[in-house]
């Protein structure tokens, strides 16, 4: 994507690697849309913390970050013993894996890096192979998103009104996006349409990230409160829903995605509105047999009880103007429950947009060879 920085448009990826410094470079997503800043993580533990603390977010983006983090951790090793190196890599893998447990993409990405790295005969060879494999994963992820756009663009008709939930754009990927890929491809083909961005409480990724992306891209859009979607559907003002996924089960077609996705799927089914999920290959879990087995991340209650934003008005000193601040909005003595994801049953999903085409959820398993699954 091209981003306007200081009045000039420049191309950026959401994550990349600085081999000279052995650092992972990331767009600091928590500051958007108010500030565009690049941060660097100097070691694999800081990279894991960036994933956990949502400096970087979105399943494909944290997958690439984890792949780079594994290569980063491999390059941190000082020594020549393959046994000690293998133990070090297992620790690095676990640290990165545990940062965000619901998404399967980071595990799939790191396993891909490990498989390539195993061909090395020495520690130095394995370190070099790890970085090459991480770069290949990131580049492959971009091409998969490009293919998602190609296949999904035909769903976007002239004048259509499309609902999105959370952010599954280029910020959530390495580039282009999953749910946004068909939008960007349709725009490139000259079609006009309008996007409703669910705000996506409690982190408001739709309001802060998706809306920012669409504004950068010049796509007509409006932010809506999460609970407004049903009203718009009831009045015939939404024609299509496209979301991303953090884990889709290849055996059942169930979709784990940002909390509130299941609600939108139920509403879309009630109003006979097509509900599509855009997924790269790394999002497919070929092992789990039930959505109930997906680990659902429970995040801090403070996310629900308050909100982050930029101070625009002050009644005291002006020194705080423009600063990022947390504001408590809930009753002071109340606690909160904050599951980060939910699981949508396959029967509520119209189709899965993949790099290999659009599939019915129940057809994933029998099409697994086309989708990079087991034999």
Round to whole Å and give the CA distance between 56 and 40. Answer: 11
Report the catalytic residues: 246
Q: Would you state the structure tokens that stand for residue 302, as one six-digit string?
A: 């403070």
For the beta carbon of residue 200, count every other beta carbon within 10 angstroms.
23
For 176, list phi and psi in degrees, rounded to 5. Answer: 70, -55
Angle at 293 between CA 357 and CA 54, to 5 degrees: 75
User: Environment class of residue 42 by beta-carbon count within 10 Å: exposed (0-12), middle (13-18) or buried (19+)?
Assistant: middle
344 near 352, Cβ under 8 Å? no
What are the angstrom distances between the C-alpha of 45 and each of 24, 74, 284?
A: 11, 12, 26
Regarding beta strands 351-354 and 275-278, do their DSSP bridges make them parallel or antiparallel, or are they unpaired? parallel
Task: Give how far Cα 147 sits from Cα of 144, 160, 258, 299, 357, Å.
Answer: 5, 21, 23, 33, 8
Task: Report how far Cα 119 is from the mean position of its chain's Cα atoms.
Answer: 30
Q: Which residue has the tokens 């309008």?
A: 194
């Amino acid at each position: 994507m091209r981003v306007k920085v200081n009045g000039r448009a420049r191309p950026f990826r959401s994550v990349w690697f600085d081999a000279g410094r052995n650092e992972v470079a990331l767009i600091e997503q928590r500051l958007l849309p108010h500030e565009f800043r690049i941060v660097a993580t100097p070691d694999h533990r800081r990279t894991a913390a960036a994933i956990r603390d949502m400096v970087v977010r979105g399943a494909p983006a944290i997958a690439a970050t984890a792949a780079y983090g594994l290569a980063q951790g491999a390059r941190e090793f000082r020594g020549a013993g393959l046994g000690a190196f293998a133990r070090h890599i297992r620790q690095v893998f676990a640290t990165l894996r545990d940062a965000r447990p619901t998404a399967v993409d980071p595990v799939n990405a790191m396993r891909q890096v490990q498989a390539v790295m195993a061909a090395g005969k020495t520690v130095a060879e394995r370190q070099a192979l790890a970085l090459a494999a991480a770069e290949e994963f990131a580049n492959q992820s971009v091409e998969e998103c490009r293919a998602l756009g190609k296949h999904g663009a035909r769903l976007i008709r002239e004048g259509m009104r499309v609902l999105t939930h959370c952010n599954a754009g280029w910020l959530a990927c390495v580039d282009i996006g999953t749910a946004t890929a068909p939008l960007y491809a349709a725009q490139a083909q000259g079609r006009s349409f309008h996007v409703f961005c669910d705000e996506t409480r409690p982190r408001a990724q739709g309001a802060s990230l998706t809306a920012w992306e669409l504004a950068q891209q010049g796509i007509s859009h409006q932010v809506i409160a999460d609970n407004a979607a049903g009203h718009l559907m009831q009045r015939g003002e939404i024609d299509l829903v496209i979301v991303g996924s953090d884990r889709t089960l290849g055996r059942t077609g169930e979709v784990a995605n940002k909390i509130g996705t299941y609600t939108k799927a139920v509403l879309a089914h009630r109003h006979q509105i097509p509900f599509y999920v855009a997924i790269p290959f790394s999002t497919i879990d070929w092992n789990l047999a039930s959505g109930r087995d997906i680990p659902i991340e429970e995040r801090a209650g403070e996310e629900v009880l308050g909100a982050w934003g930029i101070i625009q008005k002050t009644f005291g000193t002006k020194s705080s103007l423009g600063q990022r601040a947390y504001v408590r909005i809930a009753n002071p003595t109340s606690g909160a429950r904050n599951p980060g994801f939910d699981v949508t049953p396959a029967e509520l999903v119209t189709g899965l947009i993949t790099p290999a085409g659009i599939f019915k959820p129940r057809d994933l398993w029998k099409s697994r060879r086309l989708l990079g699954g087991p034999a």
